[in-house]
Amino acid sequence: MKTFLRYFLISGFIYLASCSGNEDENILPQSLLNKSIEKDTNYKNLLFNGPDAFDQVPWPVNYEIWGESIPIPGDHTLTGPNPVLDELNDFKDYVSNVSLTLEVSSTGGSWYKRYKYTFTNRSQESMHVDAAVFMFVGPKNTSGERHVSILNNVDGHGHPQQDFVEVPLGNGADSYYIARLVFHDVPEAKRTLTPGSSLVYMIGFPMNPFSSPYGISVENSMKTVRFIADLSGNKNEDLVRKYGTKRYTN
């Protein structure tokens, strides 16, 4: 059973969710990497549905409670095509380097849809999601509606931010989206996924029901998802530089 309590923020929604019940999943981690990226250290630990165990370097204990988890960087400008365009076939399904179970759903009508990506910590360990990089294919031309929420944030406080880029694909209907999760005025406990708690990323797209193709389905979008937690403390800086993100504040 899941219970949701909604709060509103300038930059998004904060929800409260409690999850109960037994999961029947028997997840057998298996690498879905192609030979072309096996040597990329960012992806060597990515497994289907995430590993059942992980090691994460904690951030310093004197980490500033109030303020930005990652200072606003300069925009990262690329001089050529975005390298993500060469990686479209490198993954066959949702992959992660931490124990997160993913559900993807949608709301809306023919002319506008929201895709909702819910990541639930199925491990027995807490994990911080500061500087995690979330990548996925969705319908093109996001409306600017991009919400990040942690479902155990009972205080409804703070402003999620992102280092973000949209990369249009050649099919005229979809884009690759890359976002590093950043938080402003959010207590450290509220940036941590405890066992059983969830993080939600929701993004909105204007849709044209008369266009063809119409845009990737939630089922197929789920197969493109990569969730790369910051395990080493380097804040995934190499990824935001590689893909040319820009900071979107409150």
As a whole number of angstroms, the distance between CA 182 and CA 140 comes to 23
Least confident of 73-77, 104-108, 135-139: 73-77
Q: Which of 39-48, 106-115, 221-230 has the highest mean pLDDT?
A: 221-230
Residue type at position 165: V
Classify residue 77: in a domain, yes or no.
yes
pLDDT per position as a tens digit, 197-239: 999 888 888 888 887 777 899 999 999 999 999 999 888 999 9
For the cut 60, the answer to whether the pLDDT of residue 188 exceeds it is yes
**Residue 32 pLDDT grade (very low, low, confident, very high; cuts 50, 70, 90):** very low
Does 81 reside within a domain? yes
CA dist list (Å): 239 to 86, 99, 213, 228, 249: 15, 20, 30, 10, 19
Amino acid at site 164: F
Is pLDDT larger for residue 67 or for residue 44? 44
11-25, 46-60, 119-133, 178-192: least confidently modelled range: 11-25
DSSP-derived letter for residue 237 is: H
Quick check: is 27 in a domain?
Answer: no
Indicate the SS3 state at residue 221. Answer: helix
Which among 78, 127, 113, 85 has a CA at the least distance from the CA of 227? 127
The amino acid present at 212, given as its one-letter code, is S
pLDDT of residue 64 exceeding 60, the answer is no
The three-state secondary structure class of 83 is helix
Flag whether pLDDT at 7 surpasses 50.
no
**Domains held by the chain: number:** 1
pLDDT category of residue 33 using cuts at 50, 70 and 90: very low
Structure-model confidence comparison of residues 62 and 18, the more confident one: 62
Residue 56 lies in a domain: yes
Query: In three state form, how does the secondary structure of 31-66 look?
Result: ECCCHHHCCCCCCCCCEECCCCCCCCCCCCCCCCCC
* Total-model pTM: 0.78
Confidence of residue 145 (pLDDT cuts 50, 70, 90): confident
Supply the mean pLDDT for the chain: 76
Domain coverage including residue 14: 2-20+42-248
Within a domain: residue 29? no
Q: Is the pLDDT of residue 149 over 70?
A: no
Question: How big is the CA angle at 193 (ends 74 and 54), to the nearest 5 degrees?
Answer: 90
Give the per-residue pLDDT at 76: 85
